[in-house]
Amino acid sequence: MSLQTLGPVVLVGAGKMGGAMLEGWLARGLPPASLTVLDPAPSAELSALAAGKGFHLNPVCSTTPPQIAVIAVKPQVMDDVLGGVAARIPEACAVVSVAAGKTIANLARHFPPGQPIIRTIPNTPAAIGRGITVCVANGEVDASQRAAASSLLEACGAVAWIDDEALMDAVTAVSGSGPAYVFLLAECLAEAGVAAGLSADLAMQLARVTVSGAGELLNRSDLDPATLRKNVTSPGGTTEAALRVLMGEAGLRELMTDAVAAATKRGKELAG
């Protein structure tokens, strides 16, 4: 579904994630006249963007029912926000939440029975259009609403759908929290470079460019990560010596498995 033909759309919350989606939608051709943004404390930048682009910001009332509403507020304020805006969302409108930890059941209690609801888990690279968002829908969401949600979310990167909401905790542990694992890798790699005698500035430059460059190579390549790793590894060379440590007992594979398991467990606890 084309963004040019999509609408009307309501965005609730234009902070970091909501603001990134908003910019992506406008850049990809969503008609500003079909977009309404509801934000309790709009920044000067958001107000200027609304004035310049022509979308509606905090209108007193709306005469056109939205086709889809994207809720992009922090989980800890979700209940309060939905308590104030749910009445402005018609029953036929698909509600898309990007709040971590808020289940479909959590969201549904703010709406009448039968409300189409889509729960999503994005990640922070969405801010530069390189994220991935995983979605799960309740039984009220039809094919056209899925397509509309995908079109909006694709403004921030890749989109994947799952059928089992119970998997969202594992999704959060891998992709939602995953950028932090990569940043830690760069941090540790730089610290290791300093320990090996490099200056802090050079070590950080090497780590930053190496991690981002390897990620882009992985993104562009049709090869799987294991093959790319093997392509860098010469028998008896320096990479093999390092990987012998990283792939040894209690090495990176085991640490990452334990880390994702811990994040998954915590996600279940937070969801109640």
**What confidence score (pLDDT) does residue 247 get?**
97
Higher pLDDT, 83 or 167: 167
Distance CA 151, CA 145 (A): 10
Residue with tokens 């880390």: 259
Residue 199 is predicted with a pLDDT of 98
In sequence order, the 6+-apart residues with CB closer than 8 A to the CB of 172 are 100, 101, 121, 263, 264, 267
Which neighbouring-strand residues pair with 94? 68
Q: How far apart are CA 105 and CA 108, in angstroms?
A: 5
Q: CA torsion, points 18, 21, 26, 28, in degrees to nearest 10?
A: -170
**Band of residue 100 on the pLDDT scale cut at 50, 70, 90:** confident
pLDDT(272) > 70: no
**pLDDT (tens digit, 9 = 90+) per residue, 230-261?**
999 999 999 999 999 999 999 999 999 999 99
Amino acid 188: pLDDT: 98
Per-residue pLDDT of 202-220, as tens digits, reads 999 999 999 999 999 999 9
Give the residue among 261, 255, 258, 77 at the shortest CA–CA distance from 169: 261
Cross-strand partners of 158: 132
pLDDT digits (tens, 9 = 90+) for 134-152: 999 999 999 999 999 999 9
DSSP structural state of residue 28: T
The Cβ of residue 35 has, within 10 Å, a number of other Cβ atoms equal to 23
Three-class DSSP category at 55: coil
- Specify whether the CB–CB gap between 173 and 264 falls below 8 A: yes
pLDDT, residue 254, reads: 97
Sorted by sequence, the CB contacts under 8 Å of residue 104 that are 6+ apart come out as 117, 119, 136, 138, 165
106 with 59: CB under 8 angstroms? no
pLDDT of residue 35: 95
Q: Which residue has the higher pLDDT, 9 or 2?
A: 9
Choice between 76 and 179, residue whose per-residue pLDDT is larger:
179
* pLDDT value at 62 more than 90: no
129: left (phi over 0), alpha (psi -120 to 50) or beta: left
pLDDT band at 132 (very low <50, low <70, confident <90, very high): very high
